[in-house]
Amino acid sequence: MTRFRVNAFSVSADGFGVGPNQSLENPLGMGGMALHRWFFPTRTFQSLAGTGGTNTGTTGIDDDFAARSLANVGAWILGRNMFGPVRGPWPDESWKGWWGDTPPYHVDVFVLTHHPRAAIPMKGGTTFHFVTEGIQAAARLASTAAKGQDVRIGGGVATIRQFLRAGAIDEMHLAISPVLLGSGEELFRDIDMVKLGYRCTEQVATPQALHVVLSR
C-alpha cells in the first residue's frame, strides 16, 4: 500500500525548515545549509552526490536515517521552490533543476506549480512532471507512478504544510539540527499535530541532529 512520507527533513531548533532570503546563491536561505550538517557527510549523501566511491562518507545513525529516507520510494512530490529559484511564468525551458543532468531521484517527480510546462526526462530515470491542479492531483499522479511503493514529499516547507493540513502525510522523519535561524519558514506554525493524530514513534539523538519520527 502506498504511503505518503516526509523523510530526512531538517529543521532548526527554533522550528524553521529554511532560512530567510532564499536566492540562487542561498537556495536554503541565510544559514539554511547548517540544518543539513548531519546529512552531507553521510555515505548515503556522498553516494548520491557522486563525490566518492562506495566506501566514502560516514556511517552510523545519521547515515541509517539517510538511507531509510530513500528506501521503497516510487515517486516524489516537490514544491516549485524545491525545483528551482525561477518565479512566475517560465521564461524559457533552460532551468532543469539544481542537480545537473542526472538528478538523484531516479523516478517520476511531480512539481507543484501555477504555470504549465512540458515534462522533462533526465538521465538516470528521473522525469520531472509539472502539476498545476494542486496537491490532490499531484498525489493521485504520484500514487499511480509509485506502483505500490511510497511517495516521498520532498518539501519545501509550504508544500509539507499543505499536505499536513489535508491529512495526507502518513509519516514524517524530522532531523532537528542544533542551530537557530531566528526567521525563515516555520514548519508547524498554526498546525496542531496532536489534533491531526500524530505521535512520536521514534527518537534518536546524534551530535548533529535529533531524529524524530512522527506517525499517525
Cα 130 from Cα 111, distance rounded (Å): 5
Which residues touch 3 (CB under 8 Å, ≥6 apart)? 150, 151, 170, 171
- Going along the chain from its start, the domains and CATH numbers come out as 4-206 (3.40.430.10)
Kindly give the confidence (pLDDT) of every residue in the chain, 216 residues in length, as a single tens digit, with 9 standing for 90 and above.
Answer: 899 999 999 999 999 999 988 777 888 888 999 999 999 999 999 988 776 556 789 999 999 999 999 999 999 999 998 998 888 999 998 999 989 999 999 999 999 999 999 999 999 999 999 999 999 999 999 999 999 999 999 999 999 999 999 999 999 999 999 999 999 999 999 999 999 999 999 999 999 999 999 999
Dig out the grid coordinates for 117 from the structure: 510546462
Dig out the grid coordinates for 209 from the structure: 541532529
In this prediction the pTM is 0.94
